[in-house]
Amino acid sequence: MTARTPRPPSNLLDGKSLLDGTNVRLLDVLSVDPRASAAELARRVGMSAPAVRERLARLEEAGVIRGYRVDIDPAAIGLPVAAWVRIRPGPGQLPKIAELATRTSQVSECHRISGEDCFLLKIHVPTIGALEAVLDQFLLYGQTISSIVVSTPVPPRTPAAAEPAERRNGTSR
């Protein structure tokens, strides 16, 4: 993927819907196989490879496609313990939680959430003792509530692209 400064995500580019049937099919294929070549994508959606590359570039520029990532199994690299941690910062500590999460390599996700807690973190560590050490760092700034992951029946996946307008409206070409 070439380096681009993405625009804010939008379903429109130059006044035209980005999520037509072809782009939805491209996104569906890429969500299953992000390494699919332009030629393979073209074959799957019935277009030429240059046309597919142009569509992908538009989706990237619009911020619909944010990147292409490697999915690494944390357990395979020595981090078999996963936990979700909710954090309720103490007064004035909110920015410090985000800063610490950014600096803490064991944090793979950090979400600002609504409700009683302000943050939801996903942490990967080698042992429960290592989890305790990470939690202790966050306890300086607020209260933590942890849940250890015992299994993942539905692994992380890309959300399905929205249906094209013609299918939503009950019309077709």
Q: Where are the domains of the chain?
A: 12-69, 74-148
Query: Do 34 and 171 touch, CB atoms closer than 8 A?
Result: no
Tokens of 73: 């199994």
pLDDT score recorded for residue 158: 83
Cα distance between the two ends of the chain: 32
Bridge partners (DSSP) listed for residue 148:
83
What confidence category does residue 32 fall into, taking pLDDT thresholds of 50, 70 and 90? confident
Q: Cα separation of 47 and 25, whole Å?
A: 12
Instruction: Look up the pTM and report it.
Output: 0.75
What confidence category does residue 2 fall into, taking pLDDT thresholds of 50, 70 and 90? very low
Question: Mind listing the pLDDT tens digit for each residue in 89-131?
Answer: 999 999 999 999 999 999 999 999 999 999 999 999 999 999 9
Which of these, 171, 167, 173, lies nearest to 19 by C-alpha position?
167
Average pLDDT, the chain: 88
Domain 74-148: CATH architecture, name and number where available: 2-Layer Sandwich (3.30)
**Mean pLDDT of the region 28-39:** 92
- In this structure, the chain runs to a length of 173
Tokens of 84: 């979700």
What confidence category does residue 9 fall into, taking pLDDT thresholds of 50, 70 and 90? low
Task: Identify the CATH number of the domain defined by range 12-69.
Answer: 1.10.10.10
**Mean pLDDT of the region 54-80:** 94
Q: Cα separation of 133 and 97, whole Å?
A: 15
Query: Do 49 and 38 touch, CB atoms closer than 8 A?
Result: yes
DSSP labels, 110-125: EEE--SS-SEEEEEEE
List C-alpha distances in Å: 71 to 8, 106, 133.
25, 16, 26
Q: Which helix (H) or strand (E) holds 100?
A: helix 94-103
Q: What percent of the chain has a predicted confidence (pLDDT) above 90?
A: 72
Q: Cα separation of 47 and 38, whole Å?
A: 10
Phi, psi of 111 (to 5 degrees): -120, 135
Q: Cα separation of 142 and 96, whole Å?
A: 10
If you search the block for the tokens 């909110």, which residue do you land on? Answer: 94
